[in-house]
Amino acid sequence: MLYGIATAITALLLAALLSALLRVLALRLGLVDRRRRARPLPLLGGLAVVLSTCLVAAAGGWTGTAPLGDGVGRLLVAGAAVALLGTAADVWRLRTPFLLVGTALAAACVVPYDETGPVAGVAAVAWITCVAAAFRGLDHADGLAGTVGVLTAFGVGVCAAAEVMDDLAVLLSVLAAALTGFLMHNWHPARIAFGSGGALFTGFVLACAALLTRSGYDTVSTVAVLFALTATASTDAVLVLVSRRLAGRPVLRRGPDHLAHRLRRLGPTWPGATVLLGVGTFAAVLVGVLVHTGLARPTAVLWVAGAALVVVLGLLRVPAYAPRRPTEPNGVRTQSRLPGTRGQTRVPGTRGRPEERTARGPSAAGGATRARGEVVGTGAPPRARGDASGARARTEPFRVLRAPRQSGTAPGAPRGRVPYDAESGGGTGESGLQAPRRHLEYPPPPPRQSTSPQVRAPLRIRDG
């Protein structure tokens, strides 16, 4: 008992310390979560959980106070390999199929085939891989994966203690304590993210531990208990898969369609959504523990399955994807409206100021291009200039013209954009253009005398 408390405290403090150190290292190396664009959120937080769990558990086995059995030692080594694979995915952007294949190979080394049989063993490998991938998907909100992992680790640890599997129970208690120390830095607003390495490690160890505790039981009750212990991760995975299939999106493409994302759109804050999912996880894990210990019938898991089904069907009605932009008859998607304009849209293949945009190709109305001498825009905001009294008065807006190339144009006639001057009376010349602005010439400043006592003669000083 005292050893369990000491190992838990050690794992908690070690995980909190390593999380702070790895945060600085991740920021220096530029390893940040690419999905969080508002602020740089460093990764490698899950690596602190992995190191704390492995070091404390290995120290207990090395000192002989809590020796690890063959199955638990193999589980810890396979989990460390999965964590390294997930960390490599964070650094080098490995694709999801590589992660799934690597996790499946690690799970194949842990499943007890002598107790499950070959067919059930293959199904167990597939289930462990899916649970690890589902825990990786839970890392979409601050503190969610850690909270679900802590509650699930306590539940599976109780099941292992009921089966008198002390080494497995100690490993799960160390994992729960390490996750708690990591949550000190990962709770909203998070200062470090979990990452694929920690998420895959946590899901892998929990799934394998739950399978080891249920080895030797009948298939129906085993399936019920395993589902109850991992109900939150399974519900999130089913919701994401169904939503993406209905929307016609790629299954492996990330998006804001997870449990916490949809709950956030219903009103709760990010910590509120995490707390709600934590309460649901606690209820489901409690049912699994009661069924495993014989205090409840396996049919009690039907309540968990019914609640998960209601959550999936209800959250599917919450919009998760941005509406697609409509397309024009020629297949070109319309662009978003320009900032600061009313009723104007960006036309592909145009240039110039927003109020002067014209299409280079055929126009939508008659298919003819604009002539070079046509007025292309008068929607510019009116200019203001100072009058004699210093006050700023509004004048008429500029009229933007394009001068045609005519052979009869006078050599000195202005070309291009000519501003309209209200004082000159406007008017158009023979070239068809507005009269240019009248330039006023100011007289030179009057001379003034120098006030210096050293200078006898007056100097003419020009203002510069």
Encode the chain (464 residues) as per-residue pLDDT tens digits.
676 788 889 999 999 999 999 999 998 888 887 666 667 788 889 999 999 999 999 888 787 777 777 788 899 999 999 999 999 998 888 888 999 999 999 999 999 998 888 999 999 999 999 999 999 999 888 999 999 999 999 999 999 999 989 889 999 999 999 999 999 999 988 899 888 999 999 999 999 999 999 988 999 999 999 999 999 999 999 999 999 999 999 988 888 899 999 999 998 999 999 999 999 999 999 999 999 999 999 999 999 999 999 999 999 999 888 765 555 555 555 554 444 444 444 444 544 444 444 444 444 444 444 444 444 444 444 444 444 444 444 444 444 445 455 444 455 544 544 444 444 444 444 444 445 555 555 566 666 655 555 554 444 444 44
CA atoms within 13 A on the CB side of 206: 36
Token pair for residue 350? 């145009």
Q: What's the pLDDT at 64?
A: 72
Token pair for residue 428? 């158009």
- Residue type (1 letter), 352: G
CA distance 346 to 354: 8
Other Cβ atoms within 10 Å of 347 Cβ, number: 15
Q: Taking every pair of C-alpha atoms in the chain, what is the biggest distance, in angstroms?
A: 119
Other Cβ atoms within 10 Å of 72 Cβ, number: 26
Answer whether 100's CB lies under 8 Å from 47's CB: no
CA distance 87 to 195: 7
Helices 301-315 and 219-229 meet at what angle, rounded to 10? 50
| Strand ranges, E, within 132-199 | none
- Residue type (1 letter), 457: A
DSSP 326-366: PB-TTSPBPPPBPTT-SS-BPPTT--S-GGG---SS--TTT
Phi then psi for residue 177, to 5 deg, are -70, -40
Answer whether 33's CB lies under 8 Å from 7's CB: no
Q: What's the pLDDT at 399?
A: 46
Closest to 87 (Cα-Cα) out of 201, 191, 190? 201
Q: What's the pLDDT at 360?
A: 43
In the numeric block, the tokens 């799960």 are attached to 172
Mode of pairing for the β-strands spanning 392-394 and 384-386 = antiparallel
pTM for this model (two decimals): 0.70
Name the H helices within 248-357.
259-265, 270-293, 301-315
For residue 342, what are the CA distances in angstroms to 74, 336, 338, 355, 363?
A: 66, 12, 8, 11, 21
Token pair for residue 158? 């109780």
Q: What's the pLDDT at 427?
A: 47
CA distance 292 to 80: 28
CA distance 435 to 423: 11
- DSSP β-bridge partners for residue 327: 333
What own/partner pairs with CB < 8 Å and gap ≥ 24 does 283-287 have? 284/228, 284/229, 284/231, 284/232, 285/151, 285/152, 285/154, 285/155, 285/228, 285/229, 285/231, 286/155, 287/228
CA atoms within 13 A on the CB side of 159: 31
- DSSP β-bridge partners for residue 377: 400
